[in-house]
Amino acid sequence: MSQACLTTTNADDKIMEISPHLLSARIISALKNAGQLAFEWRIDEDELMLIGGLCNVLRLRQVGTQSRACDTTVALLDCIHQGDRVRYLADLHAALKERDDRSNIFHRTEVRLRTADGRWQWIALRARVVERDASGRARRMAGNFSNIHEKRGKEESRLWEHRLQEVLRMSNQAIVRIKDRSALFSEICRIAVEHGGFQAAWIDLMQGGDDVFTLAAEHQRGPRDEDASILSPSLLCVARRMAAAAMRRKCVQTSGDCIGHHSATMSLASLPIFAGEHPTGTLNLCAGQEDYFGDDDDRKSVLQELATNLSCAVQQLEQESLQRGQNHILNLIATGAPLHDILLQLSRFVEERSGRVDCRIVDLHAEEEPGLPQAFPDAGLARWPIRFKGAPSARVTPIRRQPDSTWPILGHDGKQHGELNLHFKVPGTLLGKEREAIAIALRLASIAIEGRVTEERIRFLAHYDGLTGLPNRFLFKEYFELALRSAKRHHKKFAVLFLDLDKFKEINDTHGHDAGDAVLREVARRLKACLRHSDKIARMGGDEFYVLIEDLEDGRHAADVAEKLLDAAARPILFGTHECQVGVSIGISLYPDHGVTAASLIGNADAAMYQAKQTGRNGYRIHGKTGATRKAATATQDAG
């Protein structure tokens, strides 16, 4: 863009030149003192005449009774915020194309101008064509600038608060709906940008114990190529420092004056994500205006709630991932997979859970000479020569490097059968989730190495929930497939009930996880007692259960069972001296009314359960029904 000089005509008809970089500062200053500033634009000459209080503010000499300052619209465009220029030019072109010369037609647009201290201020431009040539083309426009910064600030504040609440609401729905961590992260970022009005959102995950991050998901407005990306290197550098501070301090960190793309000032927020008590990463939000987060406690409280909800979801997904990995290995053991395959999977299980260690499992073969399975000729981390059977070579030279951490694999009789060795990629100490994975790996390695004498126990662990003794999701899947085939063959109906406990998190938070485990065991016992021997109930993980009811005549029996389950769950549960109270929300789908596949029936039961929660919880909803949900009796009513 050309850089025209701002001029004013004095009484002696001399030209006084003023730097165009101060144009927006002069407009803002004039509006601050006079409220409004008139202008006239001579289109052919591209002369923008600023009339009124501006010249008094600048102490310019007057011609007659008016003070005038002259510039070009090109220079004015340089003063306008990058994000408003396209709209400003579109509005300007629309006004110039207008051929109606009625004097009462005004054109209006709103833009941000940079103030002297580098901030942005909202200005309204209102103008009309006052002179046309013979062909009807506009030659002269006149109008005024108005200061609308305070008004726009209030409007935007209300809009942002609404958007933040919308982000929180939709994120909570995504947390309930999505069971894959990567997909959940991507959806949260998309919601923040498309529904929250943020310029960009991304999730960084921490690597090891250091302030080193990897990008797990991101979403941003506009182009994603490097040159046009909103996230400049300097902005990302600031964001990573904020992310590290957010995890150390365990609270939301904000900044209101970061420099982003095209030198635009932006605001950043880093929301820490935890899995239990250990930091996992951050959700980072970039707003396209300065000081967006400011000192607004309401906005920060919404962000903190979002961070807390996301942390709970991540913890639950990690627990489910841990359970899936454990069940996969248990299935390998139960189906008689080769020992070296099992130990290899256990090593990968620990490595994936940690992300910062190399894990090797050494099988000592009890009283035989030390050796390794064939899959581990490169795993020589022990302190003795290593032999293994069936290999092309009779001996492998051991690697002399000592492991950073060594754990014995003990049998049920206390006899050592092997070692689990860890090598840290970077120096650090073990985190809680790593110790949990190691404990599982040691237990499963012991079972695998001891042989098939524990096969019965292994099958139970693979198909039943260790806490409640109920079938788990894998065994339930087999039951479901059998019921589906039988119903199709004999043209029968069956029902699927999806149960989710209400207020269970409050018990964990108030009385601890021991109380939560006790409540889950008691609720599982009560729910099972409400069912027939032919009915199936399974724990899906967390506080979720599935019930399968076969041989239905109609949906009424399923509703009757749901009411029994509601009443059973609603009764108080005594833990020590504390009385715990939970409820349950139930969704019901019927075969074949609501689906003929496992995915559709389970999905519809899930959706119905979510509707039951939305209509007050502690009740049930049959898929497709719009009537009120039946509520379980309260503890007081039961007692009476």
Helices (H), 410-554: 432-450, 455-463, 473-490, 504-511, 513-529
Indicate the fold that domain 152-319 takes in CATH.
Beta-Lactamase (3.30.450)
Is the separation of the CB atoms in 40 and 140 below 8 Å? yes
Its pTM stands at 0.46
| pLDDT (0 to 100) of residue 529 | 94
Instruction: Collapse the DSSP code of 419 into the 3-class scheme (helix H, G, I; strand E, B; otherwise coil) and give the result.
Output: strand
C-alpha span between 229 and 234 (Å, rounded) = 12
Q: To which residue do tokens 């365990």 refer? A: 250
C-alpha span between 591 and 485 (Å, rounded) = 11
Instruction: Collapse the DSSP code of 165 into the 3-class scheme (helix H, G, I; strand E, B; otherwise coil) and give the result.
Output: helix
Residues with pLDDT less than 50, the chain:
1-21, 53-69, 261-263, 366-400, 453, 628, 632-640
Domain boundaries, the chain: 6-147, 152-319, 335-461, 468-639
C-alpha span between 1 and 439 (Å, rounded) = 66
Span 51-76, pLDDT tens digits: 654 344 333 333 333 444 456 777 77
C-alpha span between 269 and 373 (Å, rounded) = 50
In 3D, which of 497, 611, 511, 616 has the Cα closest to residue 561? 497
Is the separation of the CB atoms in 211 and 345 below 8 Å? no
Is the separation of the CB atoms in 275 and 311 below 8 Å? yes
Strands 138-147 and 200-206: unpaired
| DSSP annotation string for 29-53 | HHHHHHSEEEEEEETTTTEEEEESH
Main-chain phi, psi angles of 239, to 5 degrees = -65, -40
Is the separation of the CB atoms in 193 and 201 below 8 Å? yes
107 by Cβ neighbours in 10 Å (0-12 / 13-18 / 19+) ranks as middle
| DSSP annotation string for 70-129 | EE-HHHHHHHB-HHHHHHHHHHHHHHHH-----TT--EEEEEEEE-TTS-EEEEEEEEEE
Cβ contacts of residue 560 below 8 Å, gap of 6+?
A: none
Number of H helices, E strands in the chain: 17, 24
Span 451-488, pLDDT tens digits: 754 566 667 778 899 899 999 999 999 999 999 999 99
Element (H, E) at 23: helix 23-34
Is the separation of the CB atoms in 589 and 604 below 8 Å? yes
Instruction: Collapse the DSSP code of 631 into the 3-class scheme (helix H, G, I; strand E, B; otherwise coil) and give the result.
Output: strand
Give CA 590 to chain center in angstroms.
33
| pLDDT (0 to 100) of residue 71 | 63
| pLDDT (0 to 100) of residue 617 | 84
| pLDDT (0 to 100) of residue 32 | 58
Half-sphere exposure of 249 (CA within 13 A, CB side): 13
Is the separation of the CB atoms in 542 and 317 below 8 Å? no
| DSSP annotation string for 288-328 | SSTTSSTT-HHHHHHHHHHHHHHHHHHHHHHHHHHHHHHHH
CATH code of 468-639, in short, is: 3.30.70.270
C-alpha span between 45 and 41 (Å, rounded) = 9
- Decide if 152-319 and 468-639 have a common fold: no
| pLDDT (0 to 100) of residue 455 | 61
| pLDDT (0 to 100) of residue 196 | 86
Q: To which residue do tokens 């009807």 refer? A: 136
In 3D, which of 631, 633, 609 has the Cα closest to residue 621? 609
For residue 11, CA distances in Å to 5, 49, 62 come to 19, 17, 7
Cβ neighbours, 10 Å, residue 248? 12
| pLDDT (0 to 100) of residue 537 | 96
| pLDDT (0 to 100) of residue 499 | 96
Indicate the fold that domain 6-147 takes in CATH.
Beta-Lactamase (3.30.450)
Instruction: Collapse the DSSP code of 138 into the 3-class scheme (helix H, G, I; strand E, B; otherwise coil) and give the result.
Output: strand
CATH code of 335-461, in short, is: 3.30.450.40
